[in-house]
Amino acid sequence: MTFVLTEDQAMLRDTAQSFAKDAVPVSHLRDLRDTGAGGVDATTRAKLAELGFYGVLAPEEQGGSDFGMVGMGQILEAMGQTLAATDLIATGVIAASALSLAGSEAQKSDWLAPIAAGQVAAALALDEGAHHAPTAVATEAERDGQGYTLSGEKPFVPGGHFADLFLVVARTFGAPGERHGLTVFLVAKDAPGLSIQALNTVDAHGAARLSLEGVHVDNGLILGDVDQALDLLDPVLDRARIAQAAETLGTAQAAFDMTLEYLNTRRQFGQLIGSFQALQHRAAKMFTELEMTRSCVAAALSAVDRGDASVAELASLAKARTADLIHLVSNETVQMHGGIGMTDDHDAGLFLKRARVQEALYGSASFHRDRYAALQGY
């Protein structure tokens, strides 16, 4: 079954959703923003750790539950519904997957176990331009006897503002644009030569700009094979894209529900505005997109767990369609709320701001349409 949750998965979904409502409602993000926390939220991390959410993709040997992507998808959809600012994708999906897939025994016990336990926050330092483009990495890694020295810039690292560990992608061979020649290095936040600038982002989730100036990394902290980073990152990034799609789906669903609620309460001209046919048809079209996109996300999540060959295609399908979905829904949410939706006091704006971040991360709709077509050969 691809589209029907097992009892355990359904239970996990329910747990995650009530957690989201109780512990991290939208008002929680608003508080974080207004108190200038910049998206750093240790309390919530501790609670997520307690629930074992960081270990969902980690093997049991490292204290994970190995519950799989479908399970993680349920969690992220719930977090998306309340715009919760978490590092579940950066730490629980990307870092956990990368270490599970390619980590040495030492790396697993040093890093994967604490990650699964929620004691270590991690972040992937990959892109160097304003758009997702893995092969474009230019950050240099020069041999230096017992390891490498890294130098370069990573202007926008999600979760980087409070990460303890960075998975830094640098070039050990070849030139920017080439697939071959990239390597993943494990770099601790306090590594000499690494400077981290917290970014105040439009969605109040925050991020970080990294500068690496001669950061030394021992050979033992190379993750996977030298020059072959993308063979490891492809499946890891596809998980990140699918995970992001699941979170985005939750956000779209919540924005849609909020708007539907408003259409059924707000009156103008002595009518519920939801009774105006033009708005009804727009709402019905949004619902259609929502339902069809939900199928894409579900298919992509379960394809990962089944180790299906179609993961790459489904990842691009899910990421592109959720990006288009949240773009439509977030704009309609503001428009259908009218003036009140333009005020900072209302949540509509928070959904709109988070939406564009979700669209951009791990490849825009345009990036994934292009990739989908390429994978299908046209």
* 324: its two tokens: 């288009």
Applying CB under 8 A, does 10 fall inside the site for another protein?
A: no
Do 77 and 153 contact (CB within 8 A), yes or no? no
- DSSP, residue by residue, 73-132: HHHHHHHHHTT----IIIIIIIIHHHHHHH--HHHIIIIIHHHHTTS--EEEE---SSS-
Q: How far is CA 302 from CA 9, 249, 312, 313, 365, in A?
A: 12, 16, 13, 13, 21
If contact means CB under 5 to 8 A according to the sort of partner, which of a second copy, another protein, none does residue 202 touch? another protein
The helix/strand/coil state of 153 is strand
Between residues 28 and 108, which has the closer beta carbon with respect to another protein? 28
Between residues 232 and 317, which has the closer beta carbon with respect to another protein? 317
Stretch 273-332 residues interacting with another protein (CB under 8 A): 274-281, 283-285, 287-288, 291-296, 298-299, 317, 320-321, 327, 331
If contact means CB under 5 to 8 A according to the sort of partner, which of a second copy, another protein, none does residue 67 touch? none
* Number of residues written out for the chain: 378
Closest contact distance (angstroms) between CB of 49 and another protein is 27
Binding site for a second copy (CB under 8 A): 276-278, 280-281
Stretch 241-270 residues interacting with another protein (CB under 8 A): 260, 263-264, 267-270
Applying CB under 8 A, does 198 fall inside the site for another protein?
A: yes
Applying CB under 8 A, does 98 fall inside the site for another protein?
A: no
Closest contact distance (angstroms) between CB of 287 and a second copy is 15
Stretch 331-370 residues interacting with another protein (CB under 8 A): 331, 334-335, 338-339, 341-345, 348-349, 352-353, 356-357, 359-360, 364, 366, 369-370
Number of residues in contact with another protein under rule CB under 8 A: 82
Closest contact distance (angstroms) between CB of 240 and another protein is 15
Applying CB under 8 A, does 14 fall inside the site for another protein?
A: no
Site string for another protein, 130-169 (x = CB under 8 A): xx-----------------------xx-------------
Q: What is the radius of gyration, based on Cα positions, of the chain?
A: 21
Do 344 and 285 contact (CB within 8 A), yes or no? no
End-to-end CA distance of the chain: 31
Between residues 116 and 300, which has the closer beta carbon with respect to another protein? 300
If contact means CB under 5 to 8 A according to the sort of partner, which of another protein, a second copy, none does residue 269 touch? another protein
Closest contact distance (angstroms) between CB of 279 and a second copy is 8
Binds another protein by CB under 8 A, chosen from 180, 209, 216, 306: 209
Do 362 and 89 contact (CB within 8 A), yes or no? no
Between residues 26 and 204, which has the closer beta carbon with respect to another protein? 204
Between residues 7 and 378, which has the closer beta carbon with respect to a second copy? 378
Applying CB under 8 A, does 271 fall inside the site for another protein?
A: yes
What are the backbone dihedrals phi and psi of residue 21, each rounded to the nearest 5 degrees, phi first?
A: -60, -45
Residues 6+ apart with CB under 8 A from 301: 69, 70, 72, 73, 242, 246
Q: Which residue has the tokens 């994934």?
A: 368
Q: How far is CA 109 from CA 146, 240, 299, 335, 344, in A?
A: 22, 23, 32, 51, 46
* 348: its two tokens: 């509509």
Between residues 109 and 275, which has the closer beta carbon with respect to a second copy? 275
In eight-state DSSP terms, residue 240 is H
